Each structure stands twice: as C-alpha cells, then as structure tokens.
Amino acid sequence: MKVYGLVGPSGSGKSHHAARIAAEVGADCIIDDGLLIRRGRPLAGASAKFEFTKLGAARRAIFADDLHRKEVAEALKQLQPSTCLVLGTSEKMIRLICSRLGIRGEIEWIPIESVVSVQHLTEASDRRKRGMHAIPAVGARLSRGAGRRLIQELGERVLGTGIADLGRAKVRISRSPDSDPDLTVVFPLFHNGGVFIHPRAVEQGIRAVVQEGHPSFRVRGVVYVNREPLHLALHVVYRIGPDLPAKATHLLRALKTYLQEHLGFPYVRLDLVVEAVDPV
C-alpha cells in the first residue's frame, strides 16, 4: 500500500483540505482522527471530535482502544486500498497509527505548509480559535453515528432540549463554510466547554455499582487522588468470606468498566482500601 502522511500542527487545516489533497495524490481513503473515510463517507471508526475531553480525543485519534482499532483495521483489510492518506500532528503520530492499523509500507510525507497557502493556514487557525473543527466526510452520515446519538441523548435527558439548542453550547454539526459537500464542521465538546460530571455523581454511581452487584463490600468513602487522569481510592468494609482477592478484582473491573464506558473517563486508576471486616 502506498501511504501519504499529511503532517501539521493541530488547527492547521489538515482535515479541512484532506479531501482535496487525497484527490491530488490519488489516495483511495483517508484516516483522520479515528475515522476511515472513502469518497467523503465514513466507513469505520469514530471521530475524535465527538469525545468529551482532549485526552479522550487524543486516544481516539491514535486508536488506543482495541475495539476501535480492530474495527478500522478490519475495514481496511476488506477495502484493500492501494493508496491511503493518513493525517497526524507529527510523523511519530502517523507512524503509530499505521503500526496499530497494520498499514505497512514507506510513508511519503506531505507537510501541510507545502500544500496550503499562508492565508489558508491563518484562516484555519482562526476557525480553530472559534471552536470549529473539520471532518472530511458528509455530515448526514456522521449524524447517525454513536457520538451524535450521545449528544442527542444528552440534549433530551439532561438539558431537556434538542440538537438545535445544544448548538448554543458548542455541540453542533454544520455544513462547511466553503459549501464543500464532503466536509463537515463540528464544534466539539472538548473545545471551550464540555460535559462536567460532579464528583458527587461519580461517587453515587460507584456506590450503586457496589450495592447492586457486589454485596460483599460496603462503601465507606471515595477519595480523589487525582482528577485528570482519574485516580480514585475506594474505601470499603468487607463482609468476611472466602476469595477476597477474586472478589476485589471482580469489583475493580466492574467499576473501571462503569467509569470508562458509562461516564466516559478514558484513563482510570482505582485503589481498593479495605478499612474493616464485618463478621458474617
């Protein structure tokens, strides 16, 4: 496979110009911020621009999640493109993406400043300052993705509003300002805003997980060792019984799954502190 690496700092307009550059070099597909795109259509993956945090967006962009990586790698295997354009903020990042997706071959580097004028670079920087991020794909297809459904759910359940009202909170999808039919502009959650989860809500969720599925433990308290990345110390009382190590491991796995998949924390560290033992 012939690989082109489009390199440029965040906000330099890589996604904005990706479709044009792919056409110029004859690339069959584009890999950008967690998405595999072909002819303006997302084939696999999930956009980093729908993540709640910058850290989550970075992990999504480099395919750190195994399920995400496998989905895109399998789609690439089925597509078997002869040429691919991979976007990244550095050569190291692009090499990492290629390695994780099983893309082999020498990479021909394309610095963004070599294919985009100074005026366009300035315009791209201005768009980023206003919270505008581009995705080189058709918005109608993106709107049916998991990220969009989550935004819709937040709007209906949390804010009691629809997508249009959520737009005022910088969570919206719109057409390209240049009327490019194969370009979508998004205002991500992680740019100048986002979803704030109160520590009390995290603690209540943890207590519910323990109470409903792990009756051998009773929570005494949840201590925040660090907030980003999330590091919690869970203080519990153990109702004495066999297999404490196994039960503790099962509990920690369940809590980690809850925090990552339901609350959206990309990195989680949990310490279990058994303060006391209750006799049966």
141 pLDDT more than 60: no
Is the pTM higher than 0.85? The answer reads: no
pLDDT at 243: 85
Burial per residue of 204-239, b for 16 or more beta-carbon CB atoms within 10 angstroms, e otherwise: ebbeebbeeebebbbbeebeeeeeeebebebebebe
pLDDT at 163: 36
* Domains recognised in the chain with CATH numbers: 2-115 (3.40.50), 195-279 (3.30.300.20)
Neighbours of 257 (CB within 10 A): 12
pLDDT-based confidence at residue 113 (cuts at 50, 70, 90): confident
Angle at 87 (CA atoms; ends 81, 93), nearest 5 degrees: 110
Q: pLDDT tens digits, residue range 52-79?
A: 667 777 888 899 989 999 999 999 999 9
Question: Where are the alpha helices (H) located in the chain, listed in sequence order?
Answer: 14-25, 54-61, 66-79, 91-101, 112-115, 118-129, 139-142, 146-153, 163-166, 199-213, 244-257
Higher pLDDT residue, 189 or 29? 29
